Amino acid sequence: MIRLVAVTAIVGGIALLVTAVSALSTPDADPPPAPAAVESALHRTITAARDKLRRTPSDARTWATLGTSYVEQARVTGDPAYYAKARGALDESLKHQPDNGWALLGLGALANARHDFTTARDLAQRAAAVLPDTAEVYGVLADAQTQLGVEATATVQRMLDLEPGVPSFTRAAYELEQRGDVDGARAALERALEAAVVPAEVAFCRYHLGELAFDNGRLDEAETHYEQGLLVDPRDVVLSQGKAKVAAARGLLDEALGTYQDIVTRAPLPQLLHEYAVLLRRAGRGEEAVRQHDVVARQFALLAASGGSDDLAASVVAADRGDAATALRLAEAEWGRRQHVLVADALAWALHLNGRDAEALGFAEKAAGSGWRNAVFAFHRGTILAALGRPEAADVLEEALRINPHFPDAGAARATLAGLR
């Protein structure tokens, strides 16, 4: 049994999606034109739910399934307009059956997606009181607890005990990775892959195995996992993103840029748009990079209009664009809501960009204190130490390059090291 478990919000969709598909998919549901595996399953689930509700409009469980599927549709497509549809369906479920656990579970997933993690935690706890033996409830609860910087080990252990499948093992992997146990994280993801049944799960596991390998500097291993995943689902956006990152790391910028251009057209997610913009700037195509960042800004505005926020991602984007004041304002706002190590790192970097290195170092140490072998954390901490004239700066920057010599700021790390020497 894998122990020591936690998670980020991104893995929650698989658990909810599989539950929805098993509850509603019908053989005669119309297939979508040619989407990726996850979107295909969602399309079938949503179509089946709508058909069933036309026949039985007071079915609270089906309204809950529809709402939860809309939450996942928003994540897959990058379109926050689905959040309003999700809320409407979930509210309708509660109208027909007040305090039913499936609607509360869906509302918790919706709150996580909107980064309202406190509300998500509270809703998941209410759902757990109604559905104490349902694994997906503990996934939503663990997602919220982890993002709030709260210990989630017992919650996900409960999920593992109830259902040792893909969602549980991927949460275990993330926790192990955060604590610096890369081998343990890989083993947990391999267990998840063994448990994977549907193509969406296989692709999901392959992607995260690829990410773990890439983040630890193993390009060949990462590429193999991305390619194996694409054999299962050739149109998967994040697997294509992984392939593009490998190409960029190998200096194949034209290939990487072509892939990014395709995937941001299909899924204009802020993270993908931002990575595309960074790569465009690296290729000397600054005006195009600015246009992509303008699209990112519009995506953040749409998210805000739908009732959500992502100040962490917005702070990272602002920092990369050189808007130090905005980066700091957003990072401080996010830290006021939750004390996750990713937020600590973003706040440390924003403080550094504003010339407040003495304050920045404390937050950089918080990020490093998790034990996560994270090249970006080490680069930020090493740069802050260098700005403070601390002798250990070179060792920390070298550690960043040992962890992953291909991370986006590897060139800056080498340049700072050269200056120190």
What does the pLDDT look like over 361-386, one tens digit per residue?
999 999 999 899 999 999 999 999 99
The CATH code of the domain at 320-420 is: 1.25.40.10
What pLDDT does 179 receive? 85
Please name the residues in contact with 235: beta carbons below 8 A apart, sequence gap of 6 or more: 34, 35, 36, 266
Name the residue type at position 61: R
Q: How buried is residue 354: exposed, middle or buried, by Cβ count under 10 Å (0-12/13-18/19+)?
A: middle
Residue 83 sits at the vertex; the CA angle it makes with 81 and 84, to the nearest 5 degrees, is 80
Give 9-195's CATH code, choosing from 1.10.260.40, 3.30.1490.100, 1.25.40.10, 3.40.50.12780.
1.25.40.10
Rounded (10°) CA dihedral 182, 188, 193, 195: 180
Q: Which residues of 134-157 are buried (b: 16+ CB within 10 A; e: fewer)?
A: bbbbbbbbbbbbbbbbbebbebbb
Q: What secondary structure does DSSP assign to 175-239, as a single string?
A: HHHHTT-HHHHHHHHHHHHHH--SHHHHHHHHHHHHHHHHHTT-HHHHHHHHHHHHHH-TT-HHH
Per-residue pLDDT tens over the stretch 26-76 = 333 333 333 455 667 788 999 999 999 999 999 999 999 999 999 999 888
Sequence-ordered alpha helix ranges (H) in 267-374: 270-282, 286-305, 311-321, 324-337, 341-353, 357-368
Which residues of the chain are in CATH 1.25.40.10 domains? Answer: 9-195, 320-420
What pLDDT does 37 receive? 55
* Separation in Å, CA 300 to CA 188, 268, 276, 367, 411: 33, 11, 16, 25, 29
Q: pTM score, two decimals?
A: 0.83
C-beta separation of 78 from 71 below 8 A: no
Q: Output Rg (C-alpha) for the chain, integer angstroms.
A: 21
C-beta separation of 319 from 353 below 8 A: yes
Residues of the chain under the 70 pLDDT cut: 1-39
Of 23, 74, 12, nearest to 52 by C-alpha is 23
